[in-house]
Amino acid sequence: MTATRHLVGLLLGTEDDWPTAFEEILRRLGPVQDPSGGSHEFDVERITIEPFSLRYRPRYDLVIDRLAYWYYHPREWLKKVAMMDGVYLLNSPFTFQSMEKHAAYCAMMRLGLKIPDTVLVPYKNPVDNARYAYTSSRYNQPFDLDAIAEQIGYPLFMKPYDGGAWRGVSRIRNRDELHAAYDASGEMLMHLQKAIDFDVFARSLSIGAETMVMRFQPDEPMHARYAVDHSFLPAQAGAEVVTIGRLVNAFFRWEFNSCETLVKDGEVYPIDYANACPDVALTSLHYYFPWAMKALVKWSVFALVTGRKAKLDLETDRFFAVADDPHLSYQEKLEGYRVLADEYFDAARYYDFCASRLPHLDEIVLDWVAGPDFDELLVKTVKSTYPAHEHDRFIAHLRGLLDLWVRDESSRLPTA
């Protein structure tokens, strides 16, 4: 029987670390057998940006994208290959582009999640459009910013409706800070949002049917934001954080996304979950990097070998039916959402596939991370990320965390 070859395309910005890891793990994995004995082989290519005819046939079967959120030529290429050629995408630009933070807030409020109270205020400064003066003088109503803030209550957050990477985010304690932040917002469209005085910040990274919940320390520098801590949430809050991440992703058809939730007295408040182009850099994920790379490889291989079809349509009605059922409690709704999400991600089949088709992947990755090739990648990544005087410190820091992962993983895996 001849092997089926699948081509994975990577659409990249400046990063070289995780693409190298992804390519290496897939190479070491080798061919994968499907349940009927067919063999599947995988090639990976980094996609270059070129003119394209809208009728050309792409060579790729699956594309992982970390570029199109800001670079529009490849974004339009993704739309073409998704719409016309059935290329499997992580993620579909159709929903990612249109579901900015604001729409994502609306969707999850509609589903009954505990999104803190949020108000959208009009632009502070005139937008650059010849029609603005007339429209604004006729239709923009005067409003009382202080009254809105007082209704929400201090402290509160002011942040862009489509934000990301903490651009324009400020924590506001009083009237003066409120006006200073609004005056500075200029042409950014801003939300005011009630602050949650959280006990713990949980950031979950989801890749296909898998989710890793990590303790996040937002005030730390990038390399120290994820703490290695395996039991920082009570079981129920932990399960809720996982369900919320899966729900967001299944609802929007995102398969590679991160979700930020604040936990206070056991209650889970999602605040930022439209990050469908998440950071997976070795320098920020450190201990969790091998997990993320394995999950990306497993999900890509699963999608390709099982012929998983991308869905461009959202089935919002199925989720709204759960939200609108008056007989269901909040917990029961979460359970209902979890069923829909697991169905979307074909979770049972995915886990069965990993166990039966990729049984050696854990050992392959452990062997690689414990060996010299990974260390070379680590050193190269540090050298390209930090200034020279910080190299030694960050190499030691990352080596320490990855050694810890190797030890934990060695004791987790059954010895052969």
Ligand X SMILES: Nc1ncnc2c1ncn2[C@@H]1O[C@H](COP(=O)(O)OP(=O)(O)O)[C@@H](O)[C@H]1O
CB of 245 to ligand X, least distance (A): 14
Among 218, 234, 266, 307, binds ligand X (CB under 6 A): 218
A 10 A CB-CB count for 410 gives 12
Q: Which one, 148 or 328, has the nearer CB to ligand X?
A: 148
Contact call for residues 282 and 17 (beta carbons, < 8 A): yes
Q: Which one, 56 or 70, has the nearer CB to ligand X?
A: 70
C-alpha 116/C-alpha 112 separation (Å) is 11
CB of 166 to ligand X, least distance (A): 4
Count each helix (H run) and each strand (E run) in the chain, helices first: 16, 14
Contact call for residues 8 and 43 (beta carbons, < 8 A): yes
Check residue 257 for interaction with ligand X (CB under 6 A).
Answer: no
Main-chain dihedrals φ then ψ at residue 61, nearest 5 degrees: -100, -30
Check residue 271 for interaction with ligand X (CB under 6 A).
Answer: yes
Check residue 227 for interaction with ligand X (CB under 6 A).
Answer: no
CB of 272 to Mg ion, least distance (A): 4
Binding part of the chain for ligand X, among 9-17, 135-143, 188-196, 345-353 by CB under 6 A, reads: 188-196
Among 212, 272, 333, 366, binds Mg ion (CB under 5 A): 272
Contacts of residue 126, Cβ cutoff 8 Å, sequence gap at least 6: 132, 133, 136, 187
In 12-117, the DSSP E strands lie at 32-33, 39-46, 62-65, 88-90
Check residue 240 for interaction with ligand X (CB under 6 A).
Answer: no
**Peptide bond preceding 91: is omega within 30 degrees of 0, i.e. cis?**
yes
C-alpha 225/C-alpha 217 separation (Å) is 5
Check residue 169 for interaction with Mg ion (CB under 5 A).
Answer: no
Q: Which one, 80 or 264, has the nearer CB to ligand X?
A: 264
C-alpha 357/C-alpha 355 separation (Å) is 6
Among 19, 38, 112, 116, binds ligand X (CB under 6 A): 116
Check residue 193 for interaction with ligand X (CB under 6 A).
Answer: yes
C-alpha 357/C-alpha 49 separation (Å) is 34
Structure tokens that stand for 248 in this block = 């967001």
CB of 115 to ligand X, least distance (A): 9
Strand, coil or helix: 325: coil
Question: Under rule CB under 6 A, how many of the chain's residues touch ligand X?
Answer: 18
Among 260, 308, 319, 401, binds ligand X (CB under 6 A): 260
Among 196, 241, 281, 305, binds ligand X (CB under 6 A): 196
Check residue 254 for interaction with ligand X (CB under 6 A).
Answer: no
C-alpha 79/C-alpha 150 separation (Å) is 43
Strand, coil or helix: 72: helix
Check residue 225 for interaction with ligand X (CB under 6 A).
Answer: no
Check residue 165 for interaction with ligand X (CB under 6 A).
Answer: yes
Site for Mg ion in 201-260 (CB under 5 A): 260
C-alpha 216/C-alpha 214 separation (Å) is 6
Residue 19 interacting entry, from Mg ion, ligand X, none, C-beta within 5 to 8 Å by type: none
Among 262, 295, 358, 366, binds ligand X (CB under 6 A): 262
Residue 271 interacting entry, from Mg ion, ligand X, none, C-beta within 5 to 8 Å by type: ligand X
Residue nearest to ligand X (CB): 272
C-alpha 252/C-alpha 262 separation (Å) is 21
C-alpha 67/C-alpha 312 separation (Å) is 20
C-alpha 242/C-alpha 68 separation (Å) is 27
Check residue 262 for interaction with Mg ion (CB under 5 A).
Answer: no
CB of 314 to ligand X, least distance (A): 22
Q: Can you give the binding site for Mg ion, defined by CB under 5 A?
A: 260, 272
Q: Can you give the binding site for ligand X, defined by CB under 6 A?
A: 116, 157, 159, 163-167, 169, 193-196, 218, 260, 262, 271-272
